Structure 1
Amino acid sequence: MISPEPTDPTDPTVPNDPTDPASALPASISDERRQALNEKLTLAVGQGRIDLSEFSTISDAVWSVTDVGRFTRLEQLVTGKTAPPDDAEIDRLAQKAAPSPEDADATDAPATKPKGGISSFSTTINHFEATTVVPADHVPTQSTWFGDIALAGVIRLGEREGYRLIFGDLDLDLREATLTASTTCLRVNSVFGDIKLTVPPGVQVVNRMTLNFGDVKVSQRKGGPAPNYPGAPTVVLTGRTIFGDLHIRVAEPGERQGFWNWLAYG
């Protein structure tokens, strides 16, 4: 009988011994844990502690960090349960998202996790989630005839906002906006005018507008489609436009629109 040759422990083709602590696989971060932290960030947006661009930055880290220790530090900073952050910008923003003492009870309340996984932006805006709550009783707050409405920069939006335009365009750049609710409903009624909405990566957009003689156009950020993280802030578009297009654009804060993109989408 021939005895088997001894194996070389340094040979990468030899499987690890599961009983050896040194060969154990590194700890992983579950999707449920990431989603729970992302929902705390959404609450921070709704309470006005961070704007949408800051949410986009932190949320991207929440879903991309693989080091357990680093992720745990983000959890502690967002919940306000750790020492002051170091010089890292992401740590500063995460601490900014931490609740104030009066908001602590609301933040610690269990949140309802949305169903479904991460999908592409183009799919999300046309997929009406049954769990999406749309605020009612919209009251137009701005209206214009033969003129445009353009809002950008550091602006604050209520839970319900309304716009009415006749022979004019609406341009809403929400990349640095602060919201007062996790779901913001924008009701737009437009005749002979285009509607442009720009959001940072990670923010969900649900389109419930009725377009007569108009198209829906979606342009992505540079580098490909933006992920839609479960529990992210949601912008719901409702209303009606006649003889006008709806253009939804995803772009990083400060990112300029390229010439060909402008030529294709306006």
Structure 2
Amino acid sequence: MDLEKKSDLRASDADRDAVAHRLGDALAEGRLTPEEHAERLDELYAAKTYAELDLLTRDLPGPAGEPKISLLKDSGGTSGTPVQASNTIVAIFGGAERKGRWLAEPHTTITAAFGGVELDYRQAVLTRREVVVDVKCIFGGIDITVPPGVRVVTDVSAIFGACEDPKNDTVDPQAPVIRITGFVLFGGVSFKRRTTKERRKKHC
């Protein structure tokens, strides 16, 4: 089958997720405006074929010379595809975590009651320039790790609890934003800013 016929093949969810990541990178680099990014995402999730996906990234350079989207399905083509997970995280008398390469929806809800949640955005793919995380933390803790260059905005009400200062390292108005809302009761929300190569210190 030649390349032209392959471009008419139906695209998978993994293919769409890969393009969503490319568009997110282009937004962060300033190659797309927030409005253009939102328009292309709408077209992305309506796309059916490889050809339609290719049109969305044709004017964007690929990292380190990589193709914008491969029309040939090889064994390593989807190794970097983000995992599409639920937009609800619940930890009651236990723990929950989300890390690695995952697709961050526009709105995520976290409920931690007598439990803890670890949320790691270092390899996450944001579906919007600004995503919202609504927390309900009661006698629990929520640890959020973000990479450099991502702004964190907090609007959390704390009653006998605390929400730490995220210590933002950028004031760029085009930087990706993670907005934290909700409330904390006898608990806490903490932030760590690390690169993808940094690991948590293990305690003996």
TM-score, normalised via structure 2 length: 0.58
Q: Report the identity percentage.
A: 27
Alpha-carbon contact 1:51-1:176 (below 8 Å) kept: no
| Correspondence for 1:70 | none
Higher percent of residues as strand: 2
| Correspondence for 1:194 | 141
1:233 aligns with 2:176: yes
Aligned residue pairs, count: 145
The residue identity in structure 2 corresponding to 1:49 is H
The residue identity in structure 2 corresponding to 1:204 is R
Deviation at 1:81, TM superposition (A): 4.3
RCO (CA 8 Å, sep 6+): is it higher in 1 or 2?
Answer: 1
Structure 2 vs 1, CA of residues 216 and 165 (structure 1 numbering), >3 Å: closer, same or farther? closer
Q: Max radius of gyration: which structure? A: 1
Cα RMSD between the aligned structures? 3.7
Q: Distance in 2 between matches of 1:246 and 1:147?
A: 16
| Correspondence for 1:74 | none
- The gaps in structure 2 that reach 5 residues or longer are 1-16, 31-56, 70-85
Q: Distance in 2 between matches of 1:215 and 1:55?
A: 35
1:179 aligns with 2:151: no
Question: Which deviates the most, 207-216 or 236-245?
Answer: 207-216
The residue identity in structure 2 corresponding to 1:156 is L
- The gaps in structure 1 that reach 5 residues or longer are 1-44, 61-78, 99-138
SS in 1 for 2:149: coil
Structure 2 vs 1, CA of residues 81 and 48 (structure 1 numbering), >3 Å: closer, same or farther? closer
| Correspondence for 2:115 | 168
SS in 1 for 2:123: coil
SS in 1 for 2:21: coil
Question: How do 1:19-168 residues align onto structure 2 when only pairs under 5 Å count?
Answer: 48-50=20-22, 59=29, 80-81=58-59, 91-92=64-65, 96=68, 141-168=88-115
Alpha-carbon contact 2:112-2:142 (below 8 Å) kept: no
The residue identity in structure 1 corresponding to 2:135 is V
The residue identity in structure 2 corresponding to 1:231 is Q
